[in-house]
Every structure is written in C-alpha cells, then in structure tokens.
Amino acid sequence: MLGQMQNWPLLVSKFLEHAEINHPRREIVSMLPEGGQFRYTYADHAVRARKCAQALERLGIGFSDRVATLAWNTHRHMELWFGAAGMGAVCHTVNPRLFPEQLVYIMNHAEDRILCLDVTFVPLIEKLASELKTIEHYVIMVGRDHMPETSLPNVLSYEDLIDAESGDYRWPTFDENTACGLCYTSGTTGNPKGVLYSHRSNFLHTLLALQGDTLSITSKSVILPVVPMFHANAWGIPYAAAGAGAKLVFNGPHHDPETLHKLIMEEGITVTAAVPTVWMGMLKYLEATGKDMGKLKTVTIGGSAVPRVMIDTFQRNYGVRVNHAWGMTETSPLGSLGSENGAVENLSEKEKLDIQCKQGRSVLGVEMTIMDDDGNVLPRDGKSSGHLMVRGPWVIDTYYKADKNATDADGWFDTGDVACIDEYGYMQITDRAKDVIKSGGEWISSIDLENAAVAHPKVAEAAVIGVYHPKWDERPLMVIVTEKGESVSTEEMHAFLEDKVAKWWLPDDVVTVEEIPHTATGKISKKSLRDQFTDYKLPTY
C-alpha cells in the first residue's frame, strides 16, 4: 500500500520561491569583484534568478546542459545557481585554484556549453580558451561599464543578459532525481572526478543543514559563508539561507581578516563558516588589534582538522562557539558536525573541549561506520581506528561518467579517511589512509601531531609526513612555518610535545620552511611534501 500524500518533487527552486514569498525584504549583500558592494532583497534576487533562466534558454541552454561558473561568492553566482538548476540545467561550479590543465580537463569532461566567469578570471581563461572544446559563450559577470578588453570569443555581459529579460517565468516541474549541480574533486591523486548532485539530494541536504544541531541557521540568522561556492556548494549554505530566509552576506574575492572582520561587525554576522586557515588569520588579526567579534555566535570549521588552541581561543576570548564539521565533495558535503548533544553537556569543560576537537556526530541522513582492512565493523570505543565508511541520500553512488559504482555491495562509500568513533557517537579523523604514518607496525596520526604542534607560540603552521626508516619502516618528519623572526629546534619541539602525545610519536626531525604547499581546496598537500622530501635522511636513520 502506498501513501496518499501529494507527490511534490523536491526541487531547489522551491527554496527561492519560499524566500520570495515569506522573506521578501530580507537582504542579500555582496562584495563585488569589480569593486564596491551590492545590496538587494530576496524578492529582487528571485526576479533576477528567473531572468537568468530566461537568458540561458535564449542562449540555447536546455534540460541537463552544463553551465559552468568560475566565480567568487556573490549575488550573481547565487542567481546562476538557482537560474541554471531551476530551469533543469546543471550548474557546474569550477574551482579556479586548480591547475590550468585540470581546469581544461574538467570543463571538457563536463562538456560545459557556457562559462560564466568573474572579471578576475578573464586573464586565466584567455590562456585556456583555445583548449576548451565545448564552450559556446563566455559570460563575464559584470555590467557593460566594467567589461574588460578581452580576446575571448563570443563574449557577453551578464548584466546585459539579465536586463534583456522580463522575469515573467515559471519554474518548471520535473523529476526530483534530475541532475542539479556538478562539482569535481581536487584531483590530488589523478584527474579530478565529477560528483553529480540531484535536486533531491540537495533538497534533503538543505533540510539537514537547517536543523538546530547542524549549521545553526534560522530566519533571524545573518550568515557569512566564507567557504567558496566552488567548494562542495559552499557546504549548502546558500540553499539553506534561502530556505530559512536568513540574511546572506557574500565576501566576493575578499578573504583577508580585515575585510571579513569589517563585514562581521557592520552587517551583524551571527553565523559563518570557513576552513581553518581563514580563522588562523582572523585570530592573529584580533590579537593584534584588540577587536572583538560583535554579534558572531557560531563558527563552523571544516576542510581539515581544527587545532585545539583555535577552538579554545575563540570560545574563551571571544564567546564564539566553534563547531567542527566533516564532509567531502562526495557527501554534498555535510557528513558530521560537532554540536553538543545531551550525553556530553554535563562533562567538564576540558572533556567537552576534547570532544569538540573531534569531527562530530554523523548527521541525520548519513550512516557512518569504521571498518578494518577485511571489512569488519569496528567498535565505537574511541580507540579502534579503521576506514571511515558512509552512505546516505546525499552521498555519491557513481562518479560522473564512470563505468562502475563508487560504493561497495552494501552501498558504503570509502571516504579514504582513517577514523575512530567514541561511545557518544563523535567521530575523529586520525588521518587520510594514504597519509597515516606506519611505524613499527603501529599507526601514528599526522593530524594529531600537527594540531599539537600549532599550539606552540612560535609555530604558524605545521605538517607531518612519514619518511623512510630502515628499522621502523616510517618515522614522522615535522615541517613547520614559524612566526616571523622565530625558530624552533627539534629538541624544543620535543619538550613542547612530550606531555601531549605518546613519546614514540615524537618527530624524528623538525624542518623549518618558508611555506607549506596547499591543495586547490586549501588543505596541506602531503603529496607535494612527500615529493619534496622523498630522499630526506632522518638523523635517526
């Protein structure tokens, strides 16, 4: 027997319709790549998103065609999200921080028909245009008065396209399993792989994001998503903001602490989200200036492990709750979040901080387990480490254009992370499977060592990799960037770490460098470090 409720397809256009009807005067504020600031309402935004859909149709874009964006977080980018997906096309958010050859690969692989780009990226695409085989139009996301001189063919002004349309457009209804968005992984171990989201998966992911234990978003929230819209859909925040009717503030191309702090104070930001490196810079700015964080209440941090000292400082000095999150492009991305549940609310502050350093509990809709190499499920005891496996309605099934599933026979997706889960359900990433250091048959967590090291007052950033050792197979090498004018010896680091990690975990050597390499998504590139130090001989060799 089937239920007898309305078969209402879960389409992302519903979020914008909701915002337009129920929160029409709520603001969207945008810092612009061409300079200045733009401010309008959800009612205005909805009209322009419909005009965007009309303009795309006029350019020949049809159902399931791919529309690429190479853009910062702005109101125009969000219009394209809703305009392209709402009409039944696929919005392909391209990460400009990928290598040029990767950019060419993914746009050709996706068979994008239109590329909408911010003026910032025109010089980059001019160098690549001859290799982009399927792009028919280049839409520069500015008005005619800011259009640059360019060698790009078939160039159009975004604002000209919008101005030519009426906005008299009704969002079509179609199957909720229709493709909605396309993101590619950062391709650290080969060509980037495409993850094709559906309307249904994005809709369900948004409902999850709006739960009180997740991103803390309500209609009263003022949100600054510093995480880029080309990083796994900015963690779904633009959809969630429209679904809640929250005020939304976009920082455009500006990621410096001074500009972000100005937005936080002037716009009354209450919720924000970004990777740890953004907040490291912010804490230094706050310490240097003596400023506070205004109305900010919650910072969600993901992308890589958050150092304990960062969580503690935000909460103790500035009254800002830090929620540690975990996810990946393949999980849309929210998989777990470290909000406090009833089981831990009566623990000591130190114990609570210990739990906050973990990557959080699996969210409703995501099943999570850890397995050994033979596929056996390991206990949730906070000690047993194994392969982190997930499944759920917004977790990948098959990579775009791949010829086999990305999951096992039971639907589990192997995340590539090594983790443990404690008795309260909080998961902790101990390493990437390819980054864990195997020393004498035991595992050393490079993440734990890095987080302990960055608490050293002279250390700005730290990375740990395994280096060959004839007796122990591998031993940890710590690579650090120090604060200006400082130095840290191996002996000094050992003394600092000796009460924080197991003695046999202490790095065999500490090397200071000017800069640690990062991936296109802002994570430390362990592969680059391993290549750099492939012939390094430890002093304990």
Active site residues: 185, 330, 438, 443
3-state secondary structure of 119: helix
The Cα 331–Cα 509 span in angstroms is 37
Identify whether 333 is preceded by a cis peptide bond (ω within 30 of 0): yes
Greatest distance between any 2 Cα atoms in the chain? 73
Q: Where are the beta strands (DSSP E) in 200-338?
A: 222-225, 247-250, 271-274, 298-301, 321-327, 334-337
Short-list 404, 466, 477, CA closest to 434: 466
Please name the residue that has the structure tokens 């874009």: 61
Tell me the CA distances in angstroms from 383 to 61, 258, 380, one per residue in order. Answer: 52, 41, 8
Task: Count CB-CB contacts under 10 A for residue 495.
Answer: 11
Q: Where are the beta strands (DSSP E) in 65-136?
A: 66-70, 90-93, 114-117
Torsion over CA of 232, 235, 240 and 241, rounded to 10 degrees? Answer: -100
Give CA angle at 239 (233, 245), nearest 5°.
150
Encoding tokens for residue 324? 């540690």
The Cα 183–Cα 332 span in angstroms is 9
In sequence order, the β-bridge partners of residue 30 are: 38, 250
